[in-house]
Amino acid sequence: MCGIIGYTTRKNNSVEVALSGLKNLEYRGYDSSGIAFFDGEKMDIIKSKGKISNLDDKLSNFNTNSCCAIAHTRWATHGEPNETNAHPHQVGKVTLVHNGIIENYSVLKDELLKNGYTFKSETDTEVAAAYLDYCYSKTQDKLQALVDACKAFRGSYAFDVVYEDEPTTIYATRKDSPLVIGYSHDGNFAASDISAILNYTNKYSLIEEGEFVKVTKDIVTFYNKDLHEIEKKSETATWDAAQYQKNGYEHFMLKEIYEQPKAISDIFNRYYTNCSYKDLDFSKFDKIHIVACGSAMHASLVGKYLLQTYGKIPVMVEIASEYRYSEELITPSTLLIVVSQSGETADTLAALRLAKEKGAYVVGIVNAVGSTIAREVDKCIYTYAGPEIAVATTKGYTSQVAVFSTLALMAMEQKGLLDKNIEKLIKNDMLNIEEKINSVISNREKYLEIANQIYKHNDLFFIGRGIDSTVCMEGSLKLKEISYMHSESYSAGELKHGTISLIDKGTPVISIATDEKLFEKTVSNIKETKARGSFSIFVTTENHIDNCDEFADEVIILPKATDFTEPILTVIALQLVAYETAKLRGCDIDKPRNLAKSVTVE
Ligand code: G6P
């Protein structure tokens, strides 16, 4: 989703710095970019469709010495990705960049048209710029104009604004979209997240909803919604710039896959040594709802399986954008668990706010430290997996699953369901996870061999039962996200109720059967596809490989583990199959088309 950065400095390098910040925001997903900079007389605006390198190329034709710049990566919502729709937008005395959506922009546009404003683009943001200019023309006070405009805006926003008559000051505010202020030796920043500024500083402050900020090269002043000055603490980021580099890996996705052994074993080690959420008492709640989007929702399904099967607690998992339609089920005795890597996903945030309104207790499983969701939940369980740059999540997902495994274990303990032998088995499993993940990752040749068999196909199916069917969903999503192959995930027993009609000679079917109890039934379903000519790729554990030649053309063998870690091992194999397949198809693995890492609009 859109990323913004503004920088005002004592030097003349604001364009270079803002551009390097934009590059660090690329991971959020975008389809055009732009920058406005003060050239000594006025704000120049340069925009470009496609990659930031196109913008960079264009800028090389200009004198970009400048002490103040605001820049933007746009992920199109209102109007196609082109230069006219790209930000910054300039209307009258106002130049601004925006992350979010102004939902009532057409009503405001009508009002502005009546007042003589004209528009070049199809965007809600140009309307926001015009409306701010309109407010400024009335009050002649820059902060007050921003307050007045924001009162009229419905929707979400993080704005960096520069006024023509004060071209080296950035005014900023936010609602439902992230924004941080950064402090460096040479100047100050207002950016979507810390990654944008980490090359220059790790000192930052978070802006709360409805606060306003005036950023000059020397000083940053914070205001509350009534424009009273407020004090802000400065914080120090623990993530450093090196974590935003590929460090020799061909892609961020591959680097992040290789970071999983440590990320997951850290979670389990922390659980056994210094667990911050052991005080969560499940007996206080009559039900658990888990709400998330995308891969985080898939991790939630693993969580549901573990909490229900082992913790004997009924759990409902809901896609965040649909949760509001279950409103009547939310009560003060509901435990809502929201799951989000970025901590900024708009639908998940809306779900958490709704549940809080209804009196529910909300726990977050979040990776991005200090993110909005992390700050708004009653209790935050951080996954501490470090920054994830590739749009397709890998360590983000597995670390969420790992946290759920520990929660299920806690539920068993609290309910007296954990006998000594099982406890020992699970502990041993969790504390040896690093070695097992490494052995899955080391099977790269096999994943490449499979990728070579499937990459020319247009359709592919994943099937499994029980906990394996939840992993199928994530394996399938990973493949379609980065390779653009059509892939569907089906519960193995359900395939025959319609979708099996799509299985033809050579159609690849990836089946997962790691669960002892369900093994035979899944094998029967695989045979049903094989009888229709499927190319069968079988994913199973080392104790299950006898006689699988009968129904498998390829086999991925995983180490045997308990249900508390097996989904992690399985999905990592599937991540690598997706990775190798996307590579063979020549796809842009880290930045797949149309996708955004941080989805800050509903
Ligand atoms: C986007 C990303 C997905 C992610 C989902 C939820 O769609 O592309 O990879 O799973 O958002 O993101 P979150 O940050 O809330 O986990």
> pLDDT digits over 3-39, tens only?
999 999 999 999 999 999 999 888 787 889 999 999 9
Q: Say yes or no to pLDDT of 602 above 80.
A: no
Q: Say yes or no to pLDDT of 600 above 80.
A: no
Cα 408 to Cα 144, 178, 288, 470, 570, distances in angstroms? 51, 32, 12, 16, 19
261 Cβ contact partners less than 8 Å away, ≥ 6 residues apart: 433, 434, 435, 437, 438, 441
Strand-strand pairing, 94-102 and 155-163: antiparallel
Count CA atoms closer than 13 A to 396's CA, side-chain side: 29
Question: Which atom of ligand 1 approaches the CA of 392 most closely?
Answer: 9
Q: Which amino acid is at 144?
A: Q
Rounded distance, CA 588 to CA 127, Å? 33
The C-alpha atoms of residue 74 and residue 193 are separated, in whole angstroms, by 15
Q: Which residue has the tokens 């004090």?
A: 231
Model pTM?
Answer: 0.87
Q: Cα torsion for 555, 556, 561, 566, to the nearest 10°?
A: -120
Tell me which H or E stretch contains 113.
Answer: helix 105-114
Told to judge if 380 belongs to the known catalytic residues of this protein, a careful annotator would answer no
Q: Determine if ligand 1 sits within 6 Å of the CB of residue 405.
A: no
**How many Å lie between the centroid of ligand 1 and the Cα of residue 341?**
7
Q: Residue 531's pLDDT band (boundaries 50, 70, 90)?
A: very high
Report the SS3 class of residue 319.
strand
Pair of tokens at residue 147: 């307050």
Average pLDDT, the chain: 94
Output the six-digit token pair for 190. Answer: 């207002």
| pLDDT band with cut points at 50, 70 and 90 for residue 246 | confident
Question: Whose alpha carbon is nearest atom 4 of ligand 1?
Answer: 294
- 533 Cα to the center of ligand 1, angstroms: 35
Phi, psi of 142 (to 5 degrees): -65, -45
Report how far apart, in Å, the C-alpha atoms of 265 and of each of 385, 386, 489, 571, 573 are. 10, 14, 28, 16, 17
Atom 15, ligand 1: which residue's CA is nearest?
340
Minimum-distance ligand 1 atom for the alpha carbon of 293 = 6
**Which ligand 1 atom minimizes the distance to the CA of 348?**
15
380-435 pLDDT, tens digit each? 999 999 999 999 999 999 999 999 999 999 999 999 999 999 999 999 999 999 99
Query: Does 291 sit in the ligand 1 pocket, CB within 6 Å?
Result: no
Q: Is the CB of 293 under 6 A from ligand 1?
A: yes
| The token pair that represents 155 in the structure block | 């929707």
| Of 160, 162, 158, 161, the residue nearest 174 (C-alpha) | 158
The least confident of 71-85, 199-213, 289-303 is 71-85
For the Cβ of 476 lying below 6 angstroms from any atom of ligand 1, the answer is no
Q: Is residue 220 within a helix (H) or strand (E), and if so which, with residue range?
A: strand 220-223
User: Which of 8-12, 258-262, 497-501, 563-567 has the weakest average pLDDT?
Assistant: 497-501
Confidence of residue 515 (pLDDT cuts 50, 70, 90): confident
Is 597 a catalytic site residue? yes
Sheet holding 535-541, edge to edge: 486-491, 459-464, 508-513, 535-541, 554-558
Closest residue (by CA) to atom 2 of ligand 1? 597
User: 3-state secondary structure string, 185-198?
Assistant: CCEEEEECCHHHCC
pLDDT, tens digit, 9 for 90 and up, residues 33-92: 999 999 999 999 999 999 999 999 999 999 999 999 999 999 888 888 898 999 999 999
Any alpha helices (H) in 140-214, and if so which ranges?
A: 142-152
How many Å lie between the centroid of ligand 1 and the Cα of residue 58? 32
Distances in whole angstroms, Cα of residue 16 to Cα of each of 13, 66, 533 = 5, 9, 57
| Residue in this structure with the two tokens 């499983």, named with its chain if needed | 365
Contact yes or no for 204/237 (Cβ under 8 A): yes
Nearest-Å Rg of the Cα atoms of the chain is: 25
Q: How far is the CA of 162 from the centre of ligand 1 (A)?
A: 32
CA nearest to 589, candidates 601, 573, 575: 575
Distance 295 CA to ligand 1 centre (A): 6
Q: Are 422 and 449 in contact (CB under 8 A)?
A: no
**CB of 391 closer than 6 A to ligand 1?**
yes
- Residue range 276-296: mean pLDDT, rounded: 96
Which of 25-29, 287-291, 366-370, 554-558 has the least mean pLDDT?
25-29
> 3-state SS of the chain: helix, strand, coil percent to 5?
40, 25, 35
Q: How far is the CA of 46 from the centre of ligand 1 (A)?
A: 30
Q: Which atom of ligand 1 is nearest to the CA of 400?
A: 16
Helix (H) or strand (E) run with residue 361 in it: strand 361-366
Q: How far is the CA of 339 from the centre of ligand 1 (A)?
A: 10
In ligand 1, the atom with minimum distance to the C-alpha of 595 is 8
Contact assessment for residue 244 and residue 390, using Cβ atoms and an 8 Å cutoff: no
pLDDT digits (tens, 9 = 90+) for 156-205: 999 999 999 999 999 999 998 889 999 999 999 999 989 899 999 999 99
Residue 249 has pLDDT above 80, yes or no: yes
Our answer on whether the CB atom of 342 is closer than 6 Å to any ligand 1 atom is yes
Which is the catalytic residue, given 23, 47, 583, 597?
A: 597
From 195, 293, 594, the mutation candidate for ligand 1 (largest count of ligand atoms within 8 A of CB) is 293
Residue 599: the pLDDT is 81
| d(C-alpha 331, C-alpha 338), whole Å | 16
Alpha-carbon distance of 383 to 462, in angstroms, equals 28
**589, pLDDT greater than 90:** yes
Question: In the block, which residue shows the tokens 């040479």?
Answer: 186
Structure tokens at 118: 């004209």
Burial class (CB in 10 A: 0-12, 13-18, 19+), 596: buried
Tell me what percent of the residues of the chain surpass a pLDDT of 70.
100
SS3 213: strand
Cβ–ligand 1 contact at 178 (below 6 Å): no
What is the distance in A from the centroid of ligand 1 to the CA of 474? Answer: 12
Lowest-confidence pick of 235-244, 264-273, 414-423, 585-594: 235-244
pLDDT band at 517 (very low <50, low <70, confident <90, very high): confident
Residue 495's pLDDT band, with cuts at 50, 70 and 90, is: confident
Question: What percent of the chain clears pLDDT 90, i.e. is strictly above it?
Answer: 85
Is any atom of ligand 1 closer than 6 Å to the C-beta of 299? no
CB 474 within 8 A of CB 298: yes
Strands (E), 447-590: 459-464, 486-491, 508-513, 535-541, 554-558
DSSP string, 41-77: SSEEEEEEES-HHHHHHHHTTS---BSEEEEEEE--S
